[in-house]
Amino acid sequence: MPENSAGTLAPQPAAKLKIKPPRLSGTLYRGREGMWSWVLHRITGVAIYFFLLVHILDTSIVRISPQAYNGVIDSYKQPIMGIGEFFLVVAIGYHALNGLRIILIDFWSVGARHQRLMFVIVILLWIVLIAGFAPEQIRTIVLEIQGHTSA
């Protein structure tokens, strides 16, 4: 037996609805933070990917000879590379934190409802990570400028 007869299925007045319709309903990935979080996720993913391709090749030089490997690694100890490493960590930091947010949206029963709050948390944690890493890396870059290329 249906619980309501057809007569009581008339639309309820909007004021009685508990959930307010969002500004763009059902469009988590269109416009606003939903879309920008995705754009940034995509850009950082591609950047890390190309780094990884080069990184596997440079590590493989360890099989040629110790001198060859040390030579390549010494070029990593230049100030310009120090700046590159900084941006690599910044990119991975965002991709990892937002990746966890995506996982929560998909698997946590109320994840999609809290996606905006989680994006704010992602950005805050990202800033904390950058603030924690930057002084360390600036110290490294300064030492590299002064010519300390090895331990």
For 68, 76, 100, the CA distances from 48, given in Å and listed in that order, are 25, 17, 17
From CA 115, how far away is CA 34, in angstroms rounded? Answer: 8
Cβ-based nearer residue to ligand HEM, 95 or 115: 95
Binding mask 83-102 for ligand HEM (x = CB under 6 A): --x--x---x--xx--xx-x
Nearer to ligand HEM, 34 or 99 (CB): 99
Nearest CB to another protein, comparing residues 10 and 49: 49
> Is residue 141 a contact partner of residue 148, using CB atoms and an 8 Å limit?
no
Binding region for another protein (CB under 8 A)? 42, 45-46, 48-49, 52-53, 56-57, 59-60, 62-63, 65-67, 69-70, 73, 76-77, 81-82, 85, 89, 92, 96, 99-100, 102-103, 106-107, 133, 136, 140, 143-144, 148-151
Residue 109: both structure tokens together: 């029963």
Contact 121, 48 (CB under 8 A): no
- Is the alpha carbon torsion for 142, 51, 29, 96 positive or negative? negative
Under rule CB under 6 A, residue 103 binds ligand HEM: yes
| Contact status: 34 vs ligand HEM (CB under 6 A) | no
Shortest gap between Cβ of 42 and another protein (angstroms)? 7
Q: Which residue carries 């890390």 as its tokens?
A: 48
Distance CA 89, CA 39 (A): 18
Count of residues near ligand HEM by CB under 6 A:
20
The DSSP element (H or E) to which 50 belongs, if any, is helix 32-60
Contacting residues toward ligand HEM, per CB under 6 A: 41-42, 45-46, 48-49, 52, 55-56, 59-60, 85, 88, 92, 95-96, 99-100, 102-103
